[in-house]
Structure 1
Amino acid sequence: MFTDDTTLVELAKLLPQFADIEHVLQPPEVEARYILKRAAKHFEQLEANEDREELGYLVEALVDKSWERIHSGHFSQVPLTTRQIYALGCFYKIFLLLLDNSGVEQRERCSAILDEALLLGCTDNLYGQSNELQSALMKYLDDVEKNKNDPKPLPILEEVQRVVCRCDIPQLDAPCLSEFRACCYDALQPTLLLNTLNHWTALSKWRDLNYLLKMAGNRTVPIEIGSNYASDEWSQQLVKIRDFLYRQFGDTNRTKDLEVEYLAQHELFAQIPALKSDICVPDYCSVNTESTTPVDIKAWLGPKDTVSPMHTDPKHNLLCQVFGSKRIILASPADTANLYAHESEFLGNTSQIDAANLDFERFPLLSSVRFYELILQPGDCLYLPPKWWHYVRSNTPSFSVSFWFE
């Protein structure tokens, strides 16, 4: 055996055989096919090999080249094959590094590489055991954090008490699928759905931020800095969830000078499958039996005063509130011409207005727009049809999960 780390040997058995990934490596991916075929053969043997150093250089070069291809244009235009090759290269790179040294610093380095593979690559169901490999490898790498002394425990957030408040759209109490189809989906009617998330264990578990710290603290995620992505001061940064949680929630006397950070629109549950077991994809997402498009699941975690400016999304959306509350203001697609969308392609789905403080002098057409307002409270689920404008502001520390479907 090439190592006395029996756990690592067992993990290596979860790497793909070449036959498992050959479908990804069709022409013109000749170079990637050669390198990944060698890597697969190397780990199938699980024996010391004199060409391991050369293989390490080849895999490193493949990862670097794939990274450059991913960053050479708009991310949405990157071929799926490029992202899959990048992920596979990262998997092999991690194991080759761990063979040389599986100490604490090396594991932390490999943990960052794994996060890059999950963030930039396409890893979900890449091959038969890919999801199993990701979970097991994540646990192995994160074992170095078990004895990490965090500064102090994070708070357990108080449960937000439900209040009776304004709601300008229809409300339905746990509608059946046929009622949802008729009243919401087919009618394209925004609706507040009550008592549909009561079975989610996340409703109780996630208010304990120490649970999130334990489950996800060592993961690297993209964080939005600044309360509003349409502002000039807005930026993004890759940070560990641990650091984000302590900065935004660890100080009960949080000062106004601290920048608002937002884990927004992130595929957290693909990156951390263990958290996905605390929620369920609502049955309403399957209302269109002819759709073969998978449901997009996004996480939204942040302190009080995070803002998503008035914008639209192209798909049907179920916005589910786990903890905290949010003020939401809606406008119909029929009012699009009066909502002053940005002219840039990047912000073309976003309005220039501040929906919470309307400026009729600057934007006179707003006087003809009908706005709808509501408060999204813990356990609530807001159905939004495609192209409906929505502004979202957190009244408290908040965790939401959105499900986009067709």
Structure 2
Amino acid sequence: MGAVEASLLELAKLLPRFEDIVELLENEVEARYILRRAADHFAKRQAIDQLNRPEEEEISYLIHALVDKNWERIHSGHFSSVPLTIRKIYALGCYFKQIFFLLLENPSLEQRELCGTVLDEAQLLGCTEELYEKCTELKHALMQYLDERATSNNSLPLPILAAVERRASRCDIPQLEAPSILEFRTSCYQALQPTLLLNTINHWPALSKWRDLNYLLKVAGNRTVPIEIGSNYASDEWSQQLVKLRVFLHRQFGPSNGRADHEIEYLAQHELFAQIPALKADICVPDYCTVSSNNAAGVDIKAWLGPSHTISPMHYDPKHNLLCQVFGCKSIILASPEDTANLYAHESEFLNNTSQIDAAKPDFERFPLLRRVRFYELLLQPGDCLYLPPKWWHYVRSETPSFSVSFWWE
């Protein structure tokens, strides 16, 4: 047995046993049959003398078919309506497919690149939360295995972004200098008062480390991430694409990003830190997010990375939101939930939390009710956080290359 095969079979010990996933598969007869055979196969595969090559080829074919079928089921309607069971079966199929059939049959550089993409899609399209006991351990071990053997990056280095100098700017909402938890609870959270929290995350290692885009490239460049393409997600030309983070970084921050035909792309509202734990070590969940439960486990963490001129159109979120600025700065325009009726939300089911207006250039002729709206403006700068209560409308525009982290909680 070769060293590569031996190390893969060690990783195979982290795959689920059939009894670990049997409850999930109760009503999925086809998936139950295929995953049972795959789990039993790898339980026997630990002993090389029990290898049955025809059986392995048959199960490999079945696993590939299972992944393809559930990929189609995931894409048959809007992603938010896909049952978790389908997404979990897809993730399980990816784990068996990518590593222990793709890699065992061909451990080439190209195959490892493909497996890295499959690993990311298991998390992006599938659902790995509470999949089975050792799922997180397997995911991290696979990521480490693939990254250690990844194709070397011979491209030109990325820039180290200059620190943005803090400047005086208009702020139409209250400002607090790194408030205590008690002050935040009474002045912001309980009062449902949007507030700019100054110099609140200066202790994060991310503030200095992430401006070196080569650090992001080294830690996360091989991961596949969803990218938004177009001026903003409510526009007709908007689209999405799954790409390697290194491709996105070079396209948006490399030498070509100054061309006239350069297309703006945005890594927006992505759970990057669940996908890449090494980056999560550079931040921490602010204590402000635990005022309602004293528990950070229920906090959703999202990443927002892009060049200047990325825009999130005027919209609201249903949860409490703490938007933290790591590097760069963003101009933000707010409006109260009391003005919802005057903000011309889209009628579409999936955009009914998004306004049709351009908050930066309001068209009072087309949208006359905007004359009744009171808008609040501010500049979010590195080290600062913006607290937004539920359903407060906000428009966000990056004035420079920018990395923000948002924390949402009930």
TM-score band by shorter chain is over 0.9
Matched, 1:137 2:133: no
Give 1:394 shift: 0.3
User: How do 1:209-358 residues align onto structure 2 when only pairs under 5 Å count?
Assistant: 209-251=213-255, 254-289=258-293, 294-358=298-362
Indicate how the Cα distance of structure 1 residues 213 and 360 shifts in structure 2: closer, same or farther if over 3 A, else same: same
What amino acid is aligned across from residue 402 of structure 2 in structure 1? S
Hey, what's the Cα distance between the residues in 2 that align with 1:49 and 1:83? 30
Q: CA offsets, 1:157-209, max 9 Å, x none?
A: 00001111111111122222222221111111111112321221111110000
**What does 1:158-237 correspond to in 2, within 5 Å?**
158-237=162-241
Q: Return the alpha-carbon distance in structure 2 between the equivalents of residues 292 and 207 of structure 1.
A: 26
Read off the aligned partner of 1:32 and give its amino acid letter: A
Amino acid at match of 1:44: A
Partner of 1:43: 42
**8 Å Cα contact 2:337-2:391 kept in structure 1:** yes
Number of residues of Structure 1 aligned to a counterpart in Structure 2? 404
8 Å CA contact 1:293–1:405 kept in 2: the answer is: no
Matched letter for residue 119 of structure 2: L
2:28 is aligned with 1:29: yes
Q: 1:292 to 1:211 in 2, by over 3 A?
A: closer
**1:109 corresponds to which residue?**
114
Q: What is the alpha-carbon distance in structure 2 between the residues aligned to residue 283 and residue 253 of structure 1?
A: 37
Q: Which amino acid in structure 1 is aligned with residue 306 of structure 2?
A: G
Alignment partner of 2:382: what SS?
A: coil
Deviation at 1:15, TM superposition (A): 1.4
Residue pair 2:120, 2:223 contacting (<8 A) in 1 also:
yes
Partner deviation per Cα, 1:138-165 (whole Å, 9 max, x = no partner): 2222234353311x11000000011111
**CA positional deviation for 1:291:** 8.3
Structure 2 unaligned segments of length 5 or more: list them. Answer: none
For the residues of structure 2 that align with 1:302 and 1:36, how far apart are their CA atoms?
40
Which residue type is aligned with residue 24 of structure 2?
V
Farther-moved stretch of structure 1 (100-109 vs 247-256): 247-256
Q: Please say which of residues 92-101 and 167-176 is displaced more in the overlay.
A: 167-176
User: What's the offset of the Cα at 1:73?
Assistant: 1.8
* Deviation at residue 2 of structure 1 after TM alignment: 8.3
Contact kept, 8 Å, 2:204 with 2:282, in 1: the verdict is: yes
- In 1: Cα distance, 2:151 partner to 2:215 partner: 13
Opposite residue 76 of structure 2, the aligned amino acid is: S
Which position in structure 2 is the counterpart of 1:76?
80
Give the SS at the match of 2:157: coil
- Does the CA contact (< 8 Å) of 2:332 and 2:396 recur in 1? yes
- The residue identity in structure 1 corresponding to 2:157 is P
Worse overlay, 267-276 or 6-15 = 6-15
Query: Displacement of 1:326 after TM fit?
Result: 0.1
- Quote the Cα distance in structure 2 between the aligned partners of 1:88 and 1:398: 35
The alpha carbon displacement at 1:214 in A equals 0.7
Tell me how far 1:266 sits from its aligned partner. Answer: 1.0
Q: Distance in 1 between matches of 2:119 and 2:71?
A: 13
Residue type of the partner of 2:82? V
Question: Which residue number in structure 2 is paired with residue 17 of structure 1?
Answer: 17
Q: Secondary structure at the match of 1:346?
A: helix
Equivalence for 1:123: 128
In structure 2, the partner of 1:364 is 368
Q: What TM-score do you get using the length of structure 2 for normalisation? A: 0.94
Question: Residues 285 and 407 of structure 2 are in contact (CA less than 8 Å); yes or no, is this contact kept in structure 1?
Answer: yes
Letter in 2 for 1:106: Q
Distance in 2 separating the partners of 1:253 and 1:289: 44
CA, structure 1 residues 339+291, in 2 after alignment: closer, same or farther (shift >3 Å)?
A: farther
Question: What code does the residue aligned with 1:38 have?
Answer: R
1:274-326 Cα distance to aligned partner (Å, 9 max, x none): 11111111122221129898221111100000001111111111111110000
SS in 2 for 1:360: coil
Greater mean deviation of Cα atoms: 124-133 or 51-60: 124-133
Secondary structure in structure 1 of the residue aligned to 2:23 = helix
Is residue 87–residue 118 contact of structure 1 (8 Å, CA) maintained in 2? Answer: yes
Which of 77, 92, 103 aligns to 1:98? It is 103
Cα separation, 1, equivalents of 2:166 and 2:80 = 40
How far has the Cα of 1:30 moved from its partner? 2.4
Residues 75/293 of structure 1: CA separation in 2 closer, same or farther (3 Å cut): farther
TM-score (normalizing by structure 1): 0.95
Q: CA RMSD in A?
A: 1.8
SS in 1 for 2:243: strand
Which whole-Å CA distance do the structure 2 matches of 1:358 and 1:15 have between them? Answer: 55
| Aligned-pair CA distance for 1:252 | 7.4
1:99-119 Cα deviation digits (max 9, x unpaired): 111111111111111121111
Indicate conservation of the 8 Å contact 2:272/2:302, yes or no.
yes
Residue identity matched to 1:267: E
Q: CA offset at residue 31 of structure 1?
A: 2.1
Letter in 1 for 2:126: G
